[in-house]
Amino acid sequence: MVKLQTESSPVTVKIDSQKYWNATGIYLETGAIYTFEVKGEQFWYDATIKTDAYGYTKPWFRWAEMFRRKPNENWFSLIGNIGQSVEQEFLIGKKLEKYKVPLAGELFCYANDIPIMYFNNHGSLNLTITRLS
């Protein structure tokens, strides 16, 4: 497991849209502040729908939104999670400027989708993590 220090270089990890949990191998420490960013133009695919880390909305999918892992965030938005805990889950999107870690653990990530709908996902994003303090 990698622990970033404030003077460490940023670390980039691959987040695969098909994985229910992407274990990043990055250990986030309690009270530390990090920046998470998907740099530049990067895309992943929900079946044939091309989108970025902000994800997308479709009026004809509205009925199914409540079944998403994060019901109130876009389809395919990039979500971060610490230690696979339901209490420590947050939207990253393309950039989360400053995130203060409430409780230490490994960073996990996923594309927001319905749990049984990961089979038709394609592509991955490179997420860069920097420790600020």
Binding site residues, Ca ion, CB under 5 A: 46, 113, 117, 120-121
The distance of closest approach from Cβ of residue 65 to Ca ion in the complex, given in angstroms and rounded to an integer, is: 13
Of 41, 5, 15, 34, nearest to 124 by C-alpha is 15
Supply the minimum distance, in Å, between the C-beta of residue 30 and Ca ion: 34
Q: Rounded CA gap, 133 and 123, in Å? A: 32
Tokens 């992407």 belong to residue? 22
Q: Which residue, 37 or 52, has its beta carbon nearer to Ca ion?
A: 52
User: What is the longest distance spanned by two Cα atoms in the chain?
Assistant: 47
Q: Based on CB atoms, which residue is closest to Ca ion, 104 or 117?
A: 117
* Local structure of residue 116 (DSSP, 8 states): G
Give the residue closest to Ca ion by C-beta: 117
CB of 50 to Ca ion, least distance (A): 13
Phi and psi at 76, nearest 5°, equal 65, 15
Q: How far is the CB of 84 from Ca ion (least distance, A)?
A: 20
Nearer to Ca ion, 19 or 95 (CB): 19
Residue type, 51: T
Q: Which residues contact 132 (CB under 8 A, 6 or more apart)?
A: 6, 33, 34, 35, 98
Cβ-contact 15, 109 below 8 angstroms? yes
Of 77 and 88, CB closest to Ca ion:
77
**Nearer Cβ to Ca ion, position 57 or 120?**
120
* Nearest approach, Cβ of residue 46 and Ca ion (Å): 4
